[in-house]
Amino acid sequence: EPGETVLDLGSGGGLDVILSARRVGPSGKAYGVDFLPEMLEVARGHAAEAGVRNVEFLEGMIEALPLPDESVDVVISNCVINLAPDKSPVFREISRVLRPGGRIAISDVVADEGVTPTDDGGEWAECGAGALPRDIYLALLADCGLVDADIEFTHDTGPGLHGAVIRARRPTDEPPQLA
């Protein structure tokens, strides 16, 4: 939405950050976090070429985000979280930086229940090795305080693996309204 602040985890070359910056407009801001300085330089170059000024690319790990508490409205990520060896700190950090009412829209790889990396070599050796089953993914989101979580499979990426869109939100701090 215009005026919002968006954070892209594992921003790589910056495309999603640039698109987000255009979407939130000049009154909003888009951050990208990546641990590779080389990718941050590429992303900064792409942002300059695109003429967007409401972007900032930060060096850091998605398990320890270099942003203050409750500083973003939306967290996005495109097939990065599955690469984190321990996902609990990633989700805790997402919850920490989200403002009350903030939301996530993440594209990631999700595994079928009971499928393990030893079941099939090829896809698992690429980006599926860290894929979690749906129930574990949902439990991690709930454990860090995110609500209304939903995982929508969008396509199959290999035996027992699915591309998925994961959505959830941080609850507002306001008490529920009584009728």
Please report the pLDDT score of residue 93 as a whole number. 97
CB 103 within 8 A of CB 74: yes
pLDDT, average across residues 106-130:
68
CB 50 within 8 A of CB 18: yes
DSSP type of residue 144: T
C-alpha to C-alpha distance for 126 and 46, rounded to whole angstroms: 26
Please report the pLDDT score of residue 15 as a whole number. 98
CB 111 within 8 A of CB 128: yes
Residue 13 backbone dihedrals phi, psi, to 5 degrees: -75, -5
103: which 2 tokens? 């939301």
CATH class label, 74-172: alpha beta
CB count within 10 Å of CB 153 equals 14
- What does the mean pLDDT of the chain come to? 91
DSSP helix/strand/coil, 160: coil
At 71-85, the pLDDT tens digits run 999 999 999 999 999
CB 58 within 8 A of CB 33: yes
CB 73 within 8 A of CB 100: no
End-to-end distance of the chain based on CA atoms, in angstroms? 29
CB count within 10 Å of CB 43 equals 24
- The answer to whether residue 124 scores a pLDDT higher than 80 is no
pLDDT, average across residues 105-121:
75
1-60 folds as Rossmann fold (3.40.50)
Domain with CATH 3.40.50.150 in the chain: 1-60, 74-172
At 4-51, the pLDDT tens digits run 999 999 999 999 999 999 999 999 999 999 999 999 999 999 999 999
C-alpha to C-alpha distance for 80 and 67, rounded to whole angstroms: 18
pLDDT: which is higher, 9 or 113? 9
